[in-house]
Structure 1
Amino acid sequence: MLPTLPERKMVFKGLVTKKEDMNKLILTPLVHYPLPGGSALITFEKAEVAQRIIEMKEHVVELSYGEELEDLDQCRVRVQAAPVDVLLPSSLEVRLTRNSRSILVSDLPSLGIPEEALLDKLELFFSKTKNGGAEVESRKFLDDTGQVQLTFAQDGVAELLTQRGHIQVLIGKGKYELKISPCMSGDIANLQLQPSRCPRTVLLSGIPDVLGEEPM
């Protein structure tokens, strides 16, 4: 049985550069692999090296220093090698919901002014009815995309602005044409996982605690 997927809110703010990529979503998994006590992961440059170690299953590792030690002074440990299997997404279904009161503003100019100052200017512009706006309830700068999310206090304002697509905004001493896009939020409706083997990584187990406590 697969583990329960934790709930996580997601907002998709990707930029589409090619028309054929509009229905594609690139998912890069970040795997956290829990290790039990007495084990370690080793990743090699070549997959064939890892495969040979796994096929041998058991290995004796010499931990002693020096070549002329007596048998009583030598320290060896016996460890077991096994492949590493992780669960990776094979199918992802996302349910998108359009925020009826929010818009995304992009193509912002680089004016060298603080973010708060830019947010103030955008809020002032879009709060005026002559510009097609209304009272702005909240504003937020999205650092990872360079976009600004504006949320209005009234319904219908965001939809009308989105239909325009672009709008000229007076910022400082210049006018800039900004892009207006709908604000979409997504929830994972279905996620299927399948086991995948790491070709260059080996799991070593059976490692004893051979280091004593250091004297204070």
Structure 2
Amino acid sequence: TLPEKKMVFKGLVTNKEDTNKLMLTPLIRYPLPGGSALVTFEKAKVAQRIIAAKEHVVELSYGEELEEHDRCRVQVQAAPVELLLPSTLEMGLARSSRSILVSDLPSLGISDESLLDKLELFFSKTKNGGGEVESREFLDDSSQVVLTFAEDGVAEPLIARGRIQVLIGKGKYELKISPCMNGDITSLQLQPCCCPRTVLLSGIPPVLGQESMRDTLEIHFQKASRGGGEVDALAYVPAGWWGVAVFTEDVALP
């Protein structure tokens, strides 16, 4: 079963006027059950070699001089990591009649909440072309604020002005006022994709502590004699636990 996907949409900020672009950034969370690990290698060919072997016997007593009958080994299974990625997206966009998008905010060295207070104070005054502010919030991962007014007829004149001089503290700053667009996904098609450099290991018994098992797995799969190679990242979840791995865009060389 492939994991549920949460899609995050961000406005593409540019210096050009009248742009209508959206940037889609998938946030992929992969559930990791207990007794498993994810190993990401620097080279995709190493991961594919590990997957092709399917089963691996891992030595648990590296660095110790033991007789053969005293050595401890475990057998783990290797499999590809499959994710669902968006291939086609359709959205319906609607312009909010009561909200504005405020950008080009200055860096004043104050908290976000203090800046929101100052913006609300300015835009709640009718002499500034504003009105009662119903809500205010920063957009995630951006320096833009959405202000929503309690009544219709306030947002449109501000948007028509385009830019406005705003008194914040002892200084005046020119802020950009844009329409606020609300969007709903009308169609989303996903396609399966295998992570080229990451391997899922399963069937790992709880015979070592979490850190010791993690180190043991990394030592084993870095050995060229075992078919491995340089390990870029490794996440291990002990039996009885659950973990979540977050996947981002792969920019490594093949």
Report the TM-score when normalising by structure 2.
Answer: 0.67
1-side partners of 2:128 and 2:158: how far apart?
A: 9
Unaligned runs of 5+ in 2: 210-254
**Partner SS for 1:210:** coil
- Within a 5 Å distance, the mapping from 1:60-99 to structure 2 comes to 60-65=57-62, 66-71=64-69, 73-99=70-96
Report the TM-score when normalising by structure 1.
Answer: 0.77
The correspondence for 1:181, drawn from 178, 182, 195, is 178
- Within a 5 Å distance, the mapping from 1:163-178 to structure 2 comes to 163-178=160-175
- Within a 5 Å distance, the mapping from 1:51-200 to structure 2 comes to 51-65=48-62, 66-71=64-69, 73-112=70-109, 115=112, 118-142=115-139, 144-200=141-197
| Counterpart position of 1:36 | 33
The one-letter code of the counterpart of 2:102 is V
2-side partners of 1:205 and 1:2: how far apart?
A: 16
The structure-2 alpha-carbon separation of the partners of 1:43 and 1:155, relative to structure 1 and needing over 3 Å to count, comes to same
| Counterpart position of 1:204 | 201
The one-letter code of the counterpart of 1:38 is G
The correspondence for 1:15, drawn from 13, 16, 25, is 13
The one-letter code of the counterpart of 1:127 is S
Q: For each residue in 1:34-61, what CA deviation from the matched residue of structure 2 results, as whole angstroms up to 9, or x when unmatched? A: 2334322211111111111122222222
Q: Is the 8 A contact 1:11 1:186 kept in 2?
A: no
2-side partners of 1:168 and 1:181: how far apart?
A: 14
Q: Is the 8 A contact 1:12 1:186 kept in 2?
A: no
The one-letter code of the counterpart of 1:208 is P
Between 1:58-67 and 1:137-146, the stretch displaced more is 137-146
Q: For each residue in 1:111-166, what CA deviation from the matched residue of structure 2 results, as whole angstroms up to 9, or x when unmatched? A: 44555554444334333434322333333345732233322222121012111111
Q: For each residue in 1:82-127, what CA deviation from the matched residue of structure 2 results, as whole angstroms up to 9, or x when unmatched? A: 2111111222222222221111222233344555554444334333
The structure-2 alpha-carbon separation of the partners of 1:18 and 1:98, relative to structure 1 and needing over 3 Å to count, comes to same
**Partner SS for 2:48:** helix
Between 1:90-99 and 1:139-148, the stretch displaced more is 139-148
The structure-2 alpha-carbon separation of the partners of 1:39 and 1:102, relative to structure 1 and needing over 3 Å to count, comes to same
Q: After TM superposition, give the deviation of residue 195 of structure 1 in Å.
A: 0.8
- Which has the larger Rg? 1
Percent of matched pairs sharing the same residue: 74
The one-letter code of the counterpart of 2:141 is D
| Counterpart position of 1:27 | 24
Q: For each residue in 1:162-185, what CA deviation from the matched residue of structure 2 results, as whole angstroms up to 9, or x when unmatched? A: 111112233444433221111222
Q: Is the 8 A contact 2:101 2:144 kept in 1?
A: yes
Q: Is the 8 A contact 1:89 1:193 kept in 2?
A: yes
The one-letter code of the counterpart of 1:192 is Q
The structure-2 alpha-carbon separation of the partners of 1:14 and 1:40, relative to structure 1 and needing over 3 Å to count, comes to same
The structure-2 alpha-carbon separation of the partners of 1:116 and 1:67, relative to structure 1 and needing over 3 Å to count, comes to closer
Q: Is the 8 A contact 1:11 1:184 kept in 2?
A: no
RMSD across aligned positions (CA) = 3.2
